[in-house]
Structure 1
Amino acid sequence: MNFLRLSFFVCTMLIGFYANAQTFLGNFENVHSETNNEITIKTTQGVVKIEFITADAVRIRTSWNGEFEANEPWMVVKYDWPKVAYNKKENHQELALSTEKIELKIGKNPFSISLYDTNGNVLLDEHKDAMNSSAHRTTEQTGTSFNLQPDEHFFGFGERMDFLDRRGKKVRLNVGRGQGLPHIIGAYNPLEANYAPVPFFMSTAGYGLFLHSARPTNWDMGNSNDTIFSFNAEGGELDYYIMYGPDFPTILNTYTDLTGKSPLLPKFALGLHVGTYSGGTWGHESETSTQYVIDLAKKFRELEIPLDVLHLDSTWRFFGENGGKGATTFEWRETFKNPKAMFDSLYALNLNAVGLHLRPRFDNGKTYRLLDKARKGGYVYPEENGAGEFVNFFDEKSVDWWWKEGVKNVADQGAMFLKTDEGSAFGHKANESDKVGPQGEEIKSLHNLFPLAYAKAPFEKFQEYNNIRGMNHTREGYAGIQRYPFIFAGDWPSEWQYFEPVIKAGLNIGLSGVGNWAHCMGGFEHVADPELYIRWTQFGLLSPIAHLFGMEHPNYKEPWNYGKEATRIFKSYDTFRYQLIPYLYSTSYQNHITGKPQMRAMVLDNQDDPNTYEITDQYMLGESMMVCPVIDKGAKTRVVYLPKGQWTNYWTNEVFEGKQYISVLCPLGQIPIFIKGGAIIPMQESQNYIGEKAIKNIDLHIYTHEKSSFTLYQDDGKSLNYENGDYTTTQIETEENHQTTIIKIDEPKGSFISNVATYTIVIQQPDHPSSIFINKKKIDASKLKEQKAISYTDGILKIKVDANKLQEIKIVK
């Protein structure tokens, strides 16, 4: 009897504790109001706002006190949506709200939310028990949970180095690089690295979810219970968006409508970027010099290795008296003689842009004393005892002062962009000091936003100052960072074990709405194994942004430091990249319009193929090129998975049907590349830098297979005029059957007038064509050698046509 009483007492105490610990929504009471697209629902324990932002996307906000936070401007760029038509039906069990694309069902007892497509298929079903909703709050967090479908898998969550498919995994999203000593695990722990987390995922069930919170978030995607996934934010209201696809590209398009499309970078940003410590990295600062930087650029030119962008990393700066390496004085180290003359020399070598690395904290130098002035003027984010050091990038006046008193000094000398490093240090321990910056409850909601504000400031200021498109090079980000491109993957050592995690980072960030992404090819720290260097740079030169940078002294990461073979291979892939500029630029335009990234995980276009869910060493570069980095030391072959379709080995021209694994040769000079059947890949002659030559001809490399199309995009490559419609698109279509191939090239559409006068169609044609028709005029195929605009040699058919007229080419086999 005593035992029963004790058990009853313990159960009562636990129930009471549980009730005090978590507050649920209770039951549905009524629809309180309807305004435009927003339906406000009162429950017995709170208030829920449901807003249709489009016919296939909805925002759900929950408050337990009836108050809602003001809309923030950093993550989401659009809150004012056109009217969405929806129908409302209600009975005793549920309230149903439906558009032409989705149906939202609100369970009443207890309150719950489920999402369906128009065929009645459940997409998302909030978990509940007999008494409680899943949506809840405690003193420390707000969150909810959903039923996990048996075959459901999740992709996204930002720049993660650990996994691709997150089903069965847990993850915490909060900007940071990992704690602990870097050379043990710390920042080199792929499980902890969180440089650019994004609280957004896409489900193979056909929907995406964006948790609209800047606070740290925690996600359990079926780890604790394989029938439930859940998420919570550490404070604030519960606010999330659900987006219906059902395909991933449609979901990404909606997500980037919310958080902003990436602008077009200057075309030269697609060329090679090189970073330099100017001859002296940490501990060797005295060896830096302006002449080193000039000689570096000269060597690229002498070796005819194409190069467009250079940045000077940390050691250009005089380290101040307060923050040392972790802060910025905006004063040049004394070893840099006449920086303006250095910039002039670099631009005389036809570099298109030169930039500088900096940190987000002010410091006092010998002359400027910017930290003292900023504190006195209130331009730093306040800390205890007036000791603030971080530029208050959330405040427009502080940004203006930072630009005028600091950045503009180096801009006037010739700097055209910044590398904004250490955005994770706001409220956390920084790399080069024990300082943690501002603390307190408010910082929980600002820490993740700081990298956005930090990248936004120089992107916009330099865009206005240079009078060309902005470009910012940043390490940290959060939801919306795609608006201030570009992101790079952080400081990963030159060791084989870190190669594949960096590839994962690019795949995951692309699945999270960020298209312009880079990494330190060859690795950042340590002298690389020459084989690793070659394999990593092959991948790097076929990444969205090609960025070469490392810190070991005195080798650094220039190819000639790794021998003649490495230099030859590097140059060949760099040249190949520059030939691909029309393809890469058109792909960048697609990213700008749709949010679809340049570097695409195989699952992005194959979400119904489980074989693609864990592919972390292959990706699509644009629509047509599958790149397969070699991540194993000494490998002479590697296994490649070919999804549905037809695929051509770029090196051998061997054709394979998809939905199979194959083993391919991968000699050191070759990264396996497969071209998708139907591909149309525009290429141009290589250049030493973008703009060196006026491009008069573009080669259209066509891999015929059934029906396909490609949109070639052209503009001036630098100005913002494209935002006002000053560009040209050309639609190219192909169709193949057993006997004929038909190629149609539309007239250019748009106001931009291109230098391109001709297209040369290039087709692998094993057999001599029997006849060719150009605009219905038959060409005698037996006399191709006499045709100036047509040739057939070694199985390759080339046909040159006018680029400014409608063209139809029919090839009869």
Structure 2
Amino acid sequence: MGKVFTWEVNDSTVEIKSNNQRLIVQVITDEIIRFLIPKWKADYKSVAIEGDVTVPTDFDVDETEEGIEIKTGQVTLKIMENFQFAFLDRYGDEILSSYQGKRVIKDNYSDKAIGFLESEGHDTHNLKKHEYAIQVLFNLRNEERFYGMGDKTGFLNKRGYAYENWNSDIPQIHHENMPALYKSIPFFIGKGAGYVYGMFFDNTFHSYLDFGKENNNYFFYGADNGNLDFYFMGGENIADVVEHYTYLTGRAPLPQLWTLGYHQCRWGYESAEDIRNVAKEMRGHGIPCESIQYDIDYMDGFRVFTWDEKEYGKPGELIAELEEDGFKAVCIIDPGVKVDDAYSIYSEGIKKDYFAHDKDGNVYTNEVWPGESVYPDFGRKEVRKWWAGNHKALTDIGMQGIWNDMNEPASFNGPLPLDVKFSVNDRLTNHEEAHNVYGHFMSQATYEGMKELTGKRPLVITRACYAGTQKYSAVWTGDNQSVWSHLQMLIPQLCNLGMSGFTIAGTDIGGFGGDTNPELLIRWIEASTFCTFYRNHCAKGQMNQEPWQFGETVLDIYRKYVKLHYRFLPYIYDLLFESQITGLPVMRPLVLHYEDDENTFNLNNEFLVGENMLVAPVLEQGATKRMVYLPVGTWVNYWTGQRFSGGVHIIVDAPIDMMPIFIKEGSIIPMYEEVQYVGEEPYDTLKLLIAGESAWGTHYQDNGEDFEYLEGEYNLYSFTYEDGKLDCDMLHEGYEKYTDIQWEKI
């Protein structure tokens, strides 16, 4: 690009020009710096980052022999010839730098070998080097590890793997090395000895991140189009980086309390009688449950915002009947709108020109569940407002939550061409740019519609999304399978999602596709006990997956862990309140809080719930004991009260009805009485579980439904336990307090 020769400071930005290119550096905060080479658009408006997040920050710009240095109180960015760069911490130690060599694939396959493999029908795409329109290489250190990237398959540490950001509906079984799934969250945390940083690449085109798979000397980012536009985040620890990233892209709002409870679903409850029977069995077997969710069968010919009166009765009657027993209604909505002139959603959308067009200007059609279908252009504000308003047809009959599916967008008649015309932030563009944010805009429309129509905190669940969608929606990991390897992926997937901003997340308990079995289902419900989206869901053509289908032993254990989930709801809710401030998730990998302990670097089979609980599910068929790593501190076995000094591996008993749970000594954990559903009885009594002779903790309380907490209608308690005495202080008082606070020691 030539030698740097001019630079200019304008407020928070430094524009640096070379002979034939320019670089824009924007100081967002003391620890967040944006690096933009506008090969496409200098004035690009981010989808993930909303509003002005720039904080007035003092920084210096100086010329050096090497180039230019931009220095805040925490981070220094050195720009050198040809726009090579290095980020340094406040002590002057290098954190991250560009790689000056060329890409070299370590396994260099000959044309002959590739031709032979192709003649055998093998996919050789990843055996060839692909140069990208946008590309940057970074020096890779021997000890460096990578976390984040949302729910990409595989292990917690992404070192040695390569991924693509291209939202994809893949029905085949998901293996550990899948390059892409439903979500595109191009954010990761780099960690090594004495340094940590975060990187968010804000480019919605098809992009690629290779964490040293291609070559041990570098890792790289590539994209098919757009800008080289990334945000570097410094920090003292991983938690700092998560806080900075969620500051940039937003934090998940507090959910309604009931949405954190248990949900039962099946693609295949085909009538009101099916739904009614499942609800009856749930209550009859004493399994707490909030909703029996409605998959696509409830619609009239899969037309969105409609109701099948033939199979489900008069709209609203079934919902009202089940609501009397505490069940809330949650239904699926897909983006595909059936081509049918007699269908109001289609005819109105056509009249107002709300659907995507092909390159020739015709309304684009493809095939999904309703048959021939069209796709709303959610990137336009007016289309989102229209879509939001359509939810009135559902809220009027009692729907309280919306589950967005098939919004990659999925299609049955081949993928959507890249030249289909969509919008992004009201700017007409094409599917190549809009694909990865289609689900994001749909979630935004749904959230805003449900908020306006109900006045409550919306429950929106989405399959496809982009960075920042956490502001509008919960997520699940999509169409998993009833196999042990997918149970094993639960922990790294949900922990990486959590560090990527998605604090409300879960997997389909038992597996969506394939047939589960008693042991697998038991171990899955155990492992999911502390998930913030807690749903059993399976597919047509597979055996029914409700717990009573597998006999009394399964039923008893299943009930035990669902009840345990409900007992710990106030602790989970506390952590979601904390997340409003820090961005930290509920489920956390141990490396998040013990990042210098090498035993945590690649720990895939246990996790923390907040900082004060450690959970070690059984993830292997037939296992009745397991090894658990306890980090530094004293840990108390929740079931037995036995104490262990940390920094060691221990062997614990884990029979089929036991999932090892440990409480960190010095903790106070809030708990509630067991109920069959949130709202069955008022939560008048708070129970505190105290670990140790000296302990401290806080607890948050509000009405669990609306946004009045933002106006101060909440309580924040501080508890201190010392010498057998519990003291309570009110840090904030703005809501009706508990009538009774009880405690017990462990």
**Deviation at 1:187?**
5.5
Q: Specify the SS of the correspondent of 1:28.
A: coil
- Residue type of the alignment partner of 1:112: Q
Does 2:716 align with 1:729? yes
Q: Residues 437 and 95 from structure 1, CA distance in 2 versus in 1: closer, same or farther, beyond 3 angstroms?
A: closer
Contact 1:618 1:627 in 2 (8 A): yes
**Deviation at 1:201?**
0.6
Contact 1:315 1:333 in 2 (8 A): no
Q: Residues 139 and 633 from structure 1, CA distance in 2 versus in 1: closer, same or farther, beyond 3 angstroms?
A: closer
Q: Distance in 2 between matches of 1:565 and 1:186?
A: 29
Q: Which residue of 1 aligns with 2:117?
A: none
Query: 1:586-645 deviations in whole A, cap 9, x for unaligned?
Result: 011112221101111121112212221222221112222211121111111111111222
Q: Which residue of 2 aligns with 1:485?
A: 473
Highest Rg: 1 or 2? 1
Contact 2:163 2:179 in 1 (8 A): no
Does 2:619 align with 1:625? no
Counterpart pick for 2:4 among 28, 38, 41:
28
Q: Distance in 2 between matches of 1:532 and 1:208?
A: 36
**Deviation at 1:369?**
5.1
Contact 1:729 1:750 in 2 (8 A): yes
Contact 2:39 2:226 in 1 (8 A): no
Query: 1:433-472 deviations in whole A, cap 9, x for unaligned?
Result: 5463663582121111111011111111111111111110
Stretch moving more, 362-371 or 75-84: 362-371
Does 2:241 align with 1:256? no
Q: Which residue of 2 aligns with 1:386?
A: 363
TM-score by length of 1: 0.82
Q: Specify the SS of the correspondent of 2:219.
A: strand
Q: Which residue of 1 aligns with 2:532?
A: 544
**Deviation at 1:90?**
2.4
- Residue type of the alignment partner of 1:158: G
Counterpart pick for 1:90 among 63, 66, 69:
63
Q: Distance in 2 between matches of 1:759 and 1:609?
A: 37
Contact 1:45 1:64 in 2 (8 A): no
Q: Which residue of 2 aligns with 1:414?
A: 398
Of all paired residues, the percent bearing the same amino acid is: 26
- Residue type of the alignment partner of 1:408: K
Q: Distance in 1 between matches of 2:341 and 2:282?
A: 35
Q: Which residue of 1 aligns with 2:370?
A: none
Q: Specify the SS of the correspondent of 1:339.
A: coil
Q: Which residue of 2 aligns with 1:156?
A: 148
Q: Distance in 1 between matches of 2:533 and 2:387?
A: 28
Does 2:323 align with 1:336? no
Query: Once superposed, what is the RMSD of the aligned Cα atoms?
Result: 2.4
Q: Specify the SS of the correspondent of 1:424.
A: coil
Q: Specify the SS of the correspondent of 2:338.
A: coil
- Residue type of the alignment partner of 1:463: K
Q: Which residue of 2 aligns with 1:447?
A: 435
Q: Residues 98 and 399 from structure 1, CA distance in 2 versus in 1: closer, same or farther, beyond 3 angstroms?
A: closer
Does 2:72 align with 1:125? no
Counterpart pick for 1:70 among 29, 32, 44:
44
- Residue type of the alignment partner of 2:290: D
Q: Which residue of 1 aligns with 2:741?
A: 759
Q: Residues 744 and 60 from structure 1, CA distance in 2 versus in 1: closer, same or farther, beyond 3 angstroms?
A: farther
Q: Specify the SS of the correspondent of 2:489.
A: helix
Contact 1:313 1:357 in 2 (8 A): yes
Query: 1:730-781 deviations in whole A, cap 9, x for unaligned?
Result: 123457xxxx577543224132233x133223223xxxxxxxxxxxxxxxxx
Q: Which residue of 2 aligns with 1:608?
A: 596
Contact 2:514 2:542 in 1 (8 A): no
Q: Which residue of 1 aligns with 2:574?
A: 586
Q: Residues 497 and 444 from structure 1, CA distance in 2 versus in 1: closer, same or farther, beyond 3 angstroms?
A: same
- Residue type of the alignment partner of 1:232: G
Does 2:737 align with 1:747? no
Higher RCO (Cα < 8 Å, 6 or more apart): 2
Q: Distance in 2 between matches of 1:339 and 1:302?
A: 26
Counterpart pick for 1:55 among 30, 33, 47:
30
Q: Which residue of 1 aligns with 2:87?
A: 115
1:647-662 equivalences under 5 Å are 647-662=635-650
Does 2:698 align with 1:711? yes
Q: Distance in 2 between matches of 1:629 and 1:397?
A: 47
Contact 1:359 1:421 in 2 (8 A): yes
TM-score by length of 2: 0.89
Q: Specify the SS of the correspondent of 1:224.
A: coil
Q: Distance in 2 between matches of 1:439 and 1:615?
A: 43
Contact 2:161 2:177 in 1 (8 A): no
Contact 2:309 2:315 in 1 (8 A): no
Query: 1:481-539 deviations in whole A, cap 9, x for unaligned?
Result: 21122101111121223211233221221121111001110111233111101111112
**Deviation at 1:57?**
1.1
Q: Distance in 2 between matches of 1:46 and 1:705?
A: 64
Does 2:237 align with 1:247? yes
Stretch moving more, 584-593 or 75-84: 75-84
1:307-706 equivalences under 5 Å are 307-319=289-301, 328=304, 330-332=306-308, 334-351=310-327, 353-364=328-339, 368=343, 370-383=345-358, 384=360, 385-388=362-365, 389-404=374-389, 406-425=390-409, 430=411, 432-434=412-414, 436=416, 439-440=419-420, 442-552=430-540, 555-704=543-692
Q: Residues 190 and 750 from structure 1, CA distance in 2 versus in 1: closer, same or farther, beyond 3 angstroms?
A: farther
Q: Distance in 2 between matches of 1:277 and 1:63?
A: 45
- Residue type of the alignment partner of 2:99: H
What is the count of residue pairs matched by the alignment? 698
Q: Residues 247 and 313 from structure 1, CA distance in 2 versus in 1: closer, same or farther, beyond 3 angstroms?
A: same
Stretch moving more, 613-622 or 375-384: 375-384
Q: Which residue of 2 aligns with 1:237?
A: 227
Q: Which ranges in structure 1 are unaligned for 5 or more consecutive residues? A: 1-24, 131-137, 280-287, 321-326, 765-813
Q: Specify the SS of the correspondent of 1:453.
A: helix
Query: 1:350-404 deviations in whole A, cap 9, x for unaligned?
Result: 22x3121121110146952533442232111222532340112112322333344
Q: Which residue of 2 aligns with 1:801?
A: none
**Deviation at 1:47?**
1.0
- Residue type of the alignment partner of 1:350: G
Q: Distance in 2 between matches of 1:557 and 1:684?
A: 28
Q: Specify the SS of the correspondent of 1:503.
A: helix
- Residue type of the alignment partner of 2:10: T
- Residue type of the alignment partner of 2:384: V
Contact 1:76 1:480 in 2 (8 A): yes
